[in-house]
Structure 1
Amino acid sequence: MNMTRNGISRRGLLAAFAATTVVAAPTFANAFGVLRGAGDIRRIRMYSGRTGESIDTIYWIEGQYINEAVKELNHFMRDWRNGQTISMDLRNLDIMTAAHRLLDVDEPYMLLSGYRSPQTNAMLRSRSGGVAKNSLHMKGQAADLRLKSRSVGQMARAASACSAGGVGSYSGSNFVHMDCGPVRTWGR
């Protein structure tokens, strides 16, 4: 594997270009889809240490989200504490997928937190100062992720390269927060 000093391969960068461009410039999504031609797919693989579940699905083919796959992802990314679901923001799935492609790994993400109900967020906030009162997790617009084969720094750089949302580095807890809110970074 040809890795750069940031842990992102040239092949991964090229593979992620299409998804990253669509995320960064959503107004051109339809036109860009036509220019890409056949073979445009978006696939995401994750597992949850909390529930023991895993998912490996293609959720986009040639400009169209696949409703059944999106429903499965919404269920997979549910608040595991109470089973509540929400329609996850598809832009965040695209950011996660683009960052994964940039990292050029076969390993699935470990999902630590996707959707959080307001009750769960309030409970976590009462236990930790690092939980935002108006967390994007409660809107289905964020995910906390980990990869065994990549460092927090490598994952954060890949997500930041998408220039499409927020990226938080939590080195002490070994995970990266990715969201589709305003472009910003925090942590180390």
Structure 2
Amino acid sequence: MTKSGTSGFSRRALLRAFSATAVAAAPTFSNAAGFLRGGGDIRRLEMYSGRTGERINTIYWIDGEYIGEAVREITAFMRDWRNGKTIDIDTRTMDIMAASHRLLDTSAPYMLLSGYRSPETNAMLRATSSGVASNSLHIRGQAADLRIEGRSVNQIAGAASSCRAGGVGRYSGSNFVHMDCGAVRSWGS
């Protein structure tokens, strides 16, 4: 998802250069709530898709401001891979994902299994498997199904739950965790 330009340094290139040193020097917070409230911090998402082979590693928030280009890049990455449709991904979901990842203290990226789901894809999944909500938050761009190499479903779900900022579903049989920015709740084993 990375694009190269033909003109000198862009704002994005400067932010990347800045972030390389700032991320290494950033403090580790004891819980996600502190991370989400912290002033002067940087929020990053690194993911890959086993479905499309794409990777993304981007800083989407610095010093209290979302970076529009990076948020759009994440939205494009988290599209419905079955039909290419997109919807704006809720930045609250991005924040929960970023905070959870930071709590897991790993350099491994997320593997994105499902981000946005178009209504057509959601209906197809409901017809072929159980446990797919008819009004899923995936349809609104407010949910992600994720896994991380080297971390268990319980570890990932524990980190997400500690954010106390949305829904967390454990799907141990399928080895993934659902995170969303809806009501605080949890399910699964």
Partner Cα distance (2:174, 2:143) in 1: 17
**1:187 alignment partner in structure 2:** 188
Partner Cα distance (2:73, 2:100) in 1: 21
Report how many residues are paired. 163
Q: Displacement, 1:18?
A: 3.3
1:57 matched to 2:73? The reply is no
**2:35 alignment partner in structure 1:** 19
**1:70 alignment partner in structure 2:** 71
1:156 matched to 2:162? The reply is no
Partner Cα distance (2:130, 2:47) in 1: 27
Partner Cα distance (1:86, 1:104) in 2: 30
Q: Please, which runs of 5 or more residues in structure 1 have no aligned partner? A: 1-10, 23-32
**What amino acid is the match of 2:121?**
T
Partner Cα distance (1:70, 1:185) in 2: 27
Partner Cα distance (1:146, 1:19) in 2: 21
C-alpha contact 2:31 2:162 (8 A) present in aligned 1: no
What are the residue-to-residue correspondences of 1:73-88 with 2, within 5 Å? 73-88=74-89
Q: Please, which runs of 5 or more residues in structure 2 have no aligned partner? A: 1-26
Q: CA RMSD in A?
A: 1.4
Partner Cα distance (2:150, 2:29) in 1: 17
Partner Cα distance (1:134, 1:161) in 2: 25
Q: Displacement, 1:130?
A: 1.1
**1:130 alignment partner in structure 2:** 131
C-alpha contact 1:15 1:101 (8 A) present in aligned 2: no
C-alpha contact 2:47 2:55 (8 A) present in aligned 1: yes
TM-score by length of 2: 0.83
Partner Cα distance (1:98, 1:117) in 2: 26
Partner Cα distance (2:83, 2:149) in 1: 27
**What amino acid is the match of 2:153?**
V
Q: Displacement, 1:129?
A: 1.2
TM-score by length of 1: 0.83
Partner Cα distance (1:79, 1:53) in 2: 13
Q: Displacement, 1:16?
A: 4.0
Structure-2 change in CA distance of 1:139 and 1:90 (3 Å): same
Partner Cα distance (1:15, 1:184) in 2: 18
Aligned residue for 2:174, secondary structure, equals coil
